Each structure stands twice: as C-alpha cells, then as structure tokens.
C-alpha cells in the first residue's frame, strides 16, 4: 500500500474522531460523567496521535541528505514514542480523578452516558477500520491504531457503566469504568514505549537472534570468521545488518559477499546489508572458535561475539 493511501485513511479516521470528540465533551459535561470525559480526553490523544503520524510520515518520506544519512525515517518512531507517553500521562490523571470520584461520587445521568457511548462505539469502529487499512507494519501507524482501539474498548466499558447507572443508580460504576480504561491505556502505552525504545537503542528486532545469524554466516563455504556483527532497525520494518567477514585465502571475496547477502535476504528478509569482506591471515586459520586472537591478529578488539 502506498504512503499516499495510508495518509488518506489516517485523514478519514482523524475527521471521524475530531467530530465526535466535540459532541462527547458537551454531553459529558452536561451529564457529569467522568467516563465520557475520559473517553473524550482519550479521543483527543487519538487525534493527536494521528496528526503526529501524518507529520511523521511526511518527514520520513524526505530523501536522505546532509547529516541525515538515513533521512528522517525515525521521525515515525518519535511519533510512536510520543503516543505511548501521552497514554501513560493521561492514564495517571484519570487514575487520580477516578479514585477521587470513587470516594465522593457526583451525580451521573445514565441515559446520556449510555446513548453517547453506543454512538462512540460506532465511530471508533469506523476509525479503527480506517487505520487497519493503512500499513500497520509501521510502528507509527500501529501507535495511532492502538490509541483508537483502546478508545473503542473504553466506549464499550462506558456503555456498560451507563447501563448500570440507569438500571441501578450505582453512580460509582462511572468512576470504576474510567479505571478500567486506565489499565488499557497503560498496557498500550508501555507496549509502544518498549517497542520504540528498542529501535532507539538500536537493539536487534524482536525475535531476531544476532548470534544465530552470525553462526549461520560463519558456516557458509569459504567463510573463516564473522565479527563486528550488528543487527538493528532503522525504523519499523527496515532491518539493517553490518559485519566484518573474513574468507579463506585465495577465495573470491566478492562471490562470498554476494552469497551471504542472498542468504540473509532469503532466510531473514534482511536486504539492507553492509559487509566488509577481507581475506583471513594465515594465523587466524589455526585459532579455534571462541579462542583469543594471537597478538597482531585482524581486528584485535571486535565488537560482540566472534563467529568461527
């Protein structure tokens, strides 16, 4: 799916959310419902997350140049991290307000809460569907999607609270539901912070074992050693790999490099590779796996594990 198509789907979701958010604030204030106001606040973060996603997509599309040799692709990860942080901060405020209302519950009109929440479910289902049509392999789009999906769950809980208040008069149900929404928000926010944090720390993608990759590379024909192996994400869905590869004396370095690149693409889907390929010195051929190099050996202080 093209970036332009993603932008269109995000723009439609943004229009739906902003329109209904204004309606919900008015009804929430009139009905005295914290659950509705918390949903409206959550919808505000939904809208902000989509705006951030749209801005980040535009920045990420800019070509690399100057000091930004990868372009601005990580603007999308900044957006995802901001989405996670806003979920956590909003959850903290709603927790305080929810506990306060459990201690001293105000009057809540159940009927407006129920009707507004039911309408909100429909709006959020439509917005979530629009976002699901965009490319969710992007952590940026996934962050916006999680915002909207959590809001959908919140509306379902709010509808239940409105029904309880309407049927039994138990007004504390409104505050209890807001705390349920808090749990969902914290879970989604922590997930986004964790995933975006891995990218900023240049950790290997989740589920990828660099040592296993290094061992497989070292097992290829004519490869003597692999060291300085790094596997990281440039941005979501774009894995990069670099390594120093030593091949047996007299072998074709270019052919070995091409074979390794093909194997990495087929086995791991890694196509952005930078391989420095050199011939191994005679002294390296006598050193066993995991043993230290002799003095004066090639790359005396390699980063990470040495694969032989």
**What CATH number has the domain bearing residue 216?**
3.30.70.1350
The percent of the chain in helix, strand and coil, each rounded to the nearest 5, is 65, 10, 25
Do 254 and 170 share a structural domain? no
The tens digit of pLDDT for each residue in 104-162 reads 876 766 677 778 778 888 888 888 888 888 776 677 777 778 778 877 877 787 788 77
**What CATH number has the domain bearing residue 150?**
1.20.1510.10
Tell me, yes or no, whether 302 lies in a domain. no
Average pLDDT (28-37) is 72
Average pLDDT (1-9) is 70
Can you give the pLDDT at residue 240? 92
Average pLDDT (201-217) is 90
Do 266 and 196 share a structural domain? no
pLDDT > 70 in the chain, percent: 86
Measure CA of the first residue to CA of the last residue in the chain; give whole Å: 41
How many folded domains does the chain comprise? Answer: 2
Strand partners, 273: 241
Bridge pairing between strands 238-247 and 272-279 = parallel
Residue-number span of the structural domain to which 135 is assigned:
3-200
Strand partners, 226: 245, 307
Do 180 and 45 share a structural domain? yes
Do 133 and 241 share a structural domain? no
Q: In sequence order, what are the residues at sequence separation of 6 or more whose Cβ sits closer than 8 angstroms to the Cβ of residue 52?
A: 79, 82, 83, 140, 144
Do 107 and 250 share a structural domain? no
Closest CA to 53 of 194, 148, 126, 129: 148
For residues 62 and 245, which has the higher predicted lDDT (pLDDT)? Answer: 245
Average pLDDT (204-217) is 90
């Amino acid at each position: 799916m093209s970036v332009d198509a993603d932008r269109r789907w995000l723009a439609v979701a943004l229009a739906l959310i902003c329109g209904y958010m204004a309606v919900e604030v008015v009804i929430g204030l009139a009905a005295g419902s914290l659950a509705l106001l918390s949903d409206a606040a959550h919808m505000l973060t939904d809208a902000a997350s989509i705006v951030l996603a749209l801005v980040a997509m535009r920045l990420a599309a800019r070509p690399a140049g100057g000091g930004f040799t990868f372009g601005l692709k990580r603007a999308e990860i900044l957006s995802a991290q901001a989405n996670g942080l806003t979920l956590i901060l909003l959850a903290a405020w709603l927790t305080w307000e929810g506990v306060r209302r459990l201690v001293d519950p105000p009057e809540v009109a159940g009927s407006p809460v129920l009707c507004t929440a039911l309408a909100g479910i429909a709006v959020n289902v439509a917005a979530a569907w629009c976002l699901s049509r965009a490319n969710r392999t992007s952590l940026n789009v996934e962050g916006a999607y999680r915002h909207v999906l959590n809001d959908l769950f919140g509306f379902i809980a709010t509808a239940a609270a409105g029904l309880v208040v309407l049927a039994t008069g138990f007004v504390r149900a409104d505050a209890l539901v807001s705390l349920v929404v808090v749990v969902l928000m914290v879970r989604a926010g922590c997930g986004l912070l964790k995933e975006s944090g891995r990218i900023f720390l240049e950790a290997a993608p989740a589920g990828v074992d660099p040592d296993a990759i290094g061992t497989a590379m070292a097992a290829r024909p004519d490869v003597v050693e692999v060291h300085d192996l790094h596997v990281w994400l440039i941005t979501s869905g774009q894995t990069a790999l670099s390594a120093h590869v030593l091949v047996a004396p007299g072998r074709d370095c270019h052919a070995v490099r091409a074979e390794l690149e093909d194997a990495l693409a087929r086995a791991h889907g890694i196509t952005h590779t930078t391989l420095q390929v050199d011939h191994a010195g005679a002294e390296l051929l006598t050193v066993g796996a995991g043993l230290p190099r002799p003095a004066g050996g090639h790359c005396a202080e390699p980063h990470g594990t040495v694969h032989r």
